[in-house]
Amino acid sequence: MIILGIHTGHDGAAALFVEGELVAYCKEERLSRKKSDGHRLTLSSIDEVLEIAGIERSQIDVACLSRMNLPLRHFKRTSMPIRNIWRGLRGKTRSLGGEMTLLQEPDPFELVHEDLIRQDLGLRDDARITFANHHYTHVLGAFKYTTWEKDALYISADGGGDGTTYAAYGWDGETLTCLYGGEEFLIDRKQKSAASIGLAYQSVTKHLGFRPNRHEGKITGLAAFGKPIIGDRIRALFTIHPDGSFDAEHLHYDEVMTAMAAMEPGISREDLASSIQYALEVVILDWVEVLRKRFPARYIGMSGGVFSNVRLNQKVAELPGVEEAYIFPGMGDEGLPVGNCVHMEIETAGLQNLKRGSLPNAYLGRCYDCAALTDAAEKRGGFRIQTHDDPSAPAAELLSHGRIGAIFSQRMEMGPRALGARSIMAAPVKKSLNDTLNGRLNRTEFMPFAPFVLDEDAERVFVIDDTNREACRFMTITTDVREAFHGMMPAVVHVDGTARPQIIERETNPLYYDTLKEYRDRTGIPCLVNTSFNAHEEPIINTPDEALTALADGRIDFLVCETALIFSVKTADAILDTP
């Protein structure tokens, strides 16, 4: 069976499953070059995943969509008369989930024309169209890629979807039981948006002058520089009931930020960031413990945008009795297409027949090989190309002398993290690297850069064990750094003594692994910096031309791929003459 998963809201994306295997994935912004792009059915990422897999649209058996943006002409009826909508919103879209809630209609096909969706997607007449619940598919991304046999709690939390901002499911080895946040929220139990700690965190992001739904990571980093002086008072705004349900009594969503600001007029941005981070951690940890009273669990699987908060994830993993915590690498809405496909696997084959297993890697986008990069460099001109049978050694040599490079290798990553396919690399030995690299990339960051570490070195450098090791493969969790390494690599150690490491195995990415190994053997330092290969407010680099533009613009000093190093002719001599 061939299943196409689509998410048409913000952070639009497409995923393709063939016989139970995820064979291709693409986030729309990587193609359009517009951050968080989406909000339409005709996504370019659909063609991208089909081309990657060599699949024609006529071969698709099922297309499973999130209940998000669909063209107005697809609706049979809406909460506003169609004729009125067309007068002011010609060519626009509406949220299917929103319309189902407003019209109290549980069947999406009572509201939309299945044949028009099929037609716009270019599918054959007997291809099935279906829709999946927002939080359930968040959960299914984590469920698919964990192998826990029972006693597992899967949780989702974000800004909201299909009537709620939280969901929880318990896995007892036979059934995946909804504990909170299921389909009934779409029609009967729509949750008060003020009860969302994720939206409160987003409000603080905006209040501090950053872009909500994008710059929350800056708040996480800033929090370590402050004190949570109003953290308990923010926590008190949120009520968690014994059944795991949430409330925010006497508050509407747009009153939450006003209530927080009134708690301590003139509070510093560092203390406000620290307070909302503290409140987030306590709310989620309290919720998990309430849920574990209902469903005792040794394993916690997490997805949804709230769990892009790597510090929170560490706190969950450290809860007493938790044997492992896992965060789906596409934890935000960009991961919904994967969960949509898993939903259809379960619908067609049954839960017990679902193929589950660890995600081998996140390299699921298009692969541009080294020849594509060097050919593009030769065609554009202005670049110097050095060919090598093994470029890891000269790359490590440059890095050891303080040069900043970028690796262009493998297939593009799924999710928000660069994981060694489109990553900038640098030596972690100077704290000043943060200012230097942020300046070259036009970034404003408060978190230190993340390190990557060889699998053989992970436990001796970081506090890593079976509880967090799998999460560290995808850089979705912070860990404590062992004290002996704090002074050795200050560019990757935060003020609280933590880091967000990526564990790398050679079979996953040989060039990435070998470059670090060569660097470690030269310097004795077991980590290199990994930060995403992009400038501020740009999506992560995708194509050879984009990588070369970054090199030409001086964002980096060199590019490395499997058989070559590439330099700008303007700076090549100075870089290669480095003593």
CATH 3.40.710.10 fits 364-576, yes or no: no
Tell me, what's the pLDDT at 318? 98
Q: Which helix (H) or strand (E) holds 263?
A: helix 253-263
| Residue 169 structure tokens | 């499911």
Q: Tell me if 434 sits within 8 A of 449, measured CB to CB.
A: yes
SS3 314: helix
Element containing residue 143 per DSSP (H, E): helix 134-144
Assign 423 to helix, strand or coil: strand
pLDDT in tens, the chain (579 residues): 999 999 999 999 999 999 999 999 999 999 999 999 999 999 999 999 999 999 999 999 999 999 999 999 999 998 876 545 444 444 588 899 999 999 999 999 999 999 999 999 999 999 999 999 999 999 999 999 999 999 999 999 999 999 999 999 999 999 999 999 999 898 887 788 889 999 999 999 999 999 988 899 999 999 999 999 999 999 999 999 999 999 887 778 788 899 999 999 999 999 999 999 999 999 999 999 999 999 999 999 999 999 999 999 999 999 999 999 999 999 999 999 999 999 999 999 999 999 999 999 999 999 999 999 999 999 999 999 999 999 999 999 999 999 999 999 999 999 999 999 999 999 999 999 989 998 999 887 777 799 999 999 999 999 999 999 999 999 999 999 999 999 999 999 999 999 999 999 999 999 999 999 999 999 999 999 999 999 878 999 999 999 999 999 999 999 999 999 999 999 999 999 865
CA atoms of 161 and 155, how far apart (whole Å): 14
Please answer whether residues 423 and 530 qualify as being in contact, where contact means their C-beta atoms are separated by less than 8 angstroms: yes
pLDDT at residue 550, as a whole number = 97
Tally the residues of the chain: 579
Please tell me the pTM assigned to this model: 0.96
Calculate the dihedral angle through the C-alpha atoms of 171, 176, 180, 183, rounding to the nearest 10 degrees.
170
The dotted CATH code for 2-134 is: 3.30.420
Say whether 364-576 and 2-134 share the same fold: no
Q: Which CATH superfamily is domain 146-327 in?
A: ATPase, nucleotide binding domain (3.30.420.40)
| Residue that has been written with the tokens 């044997």 in this structure | 323
Pairing outcome for strands 21-27 and 13-18: antiparallel
Q: Where are the domains of the chain?
A: 2-134, 146-327, 364-576
Q: Which long-range contacts (CB under 8 A, 24 or more apart) does 245-248 make?
A: 245/180, 246/165, 246/166, 246/191, 246/195, 246/196, 246/287, 247/192, 247/195, 248/192, 248/194, 248/195
Q: Are 335 and 303 in contact (CB under 8 A)?
A: yes
Instruction: Give Cα 250 distance to the centre of its chain.
Output: 33
HSE-CB for 153 with a 13 A CA cutoff = 28
Based on its alpha-carbon atoms, the radius of gyration of the chain, rounded to whole angstroms, reads 24
Are 342 and 3 a contacting pair, CB within 8 Å?
no
Q: Report DSSP letters for 69-120, one per residue.
A: EEEGGGBS--SS-HHHHHHH-TT-EEEHHHHHHHTT---GGGTB-HHHHHHH
User: From CA 283, how far away is CA 237, in angstroms rounded?
Assistant: 10
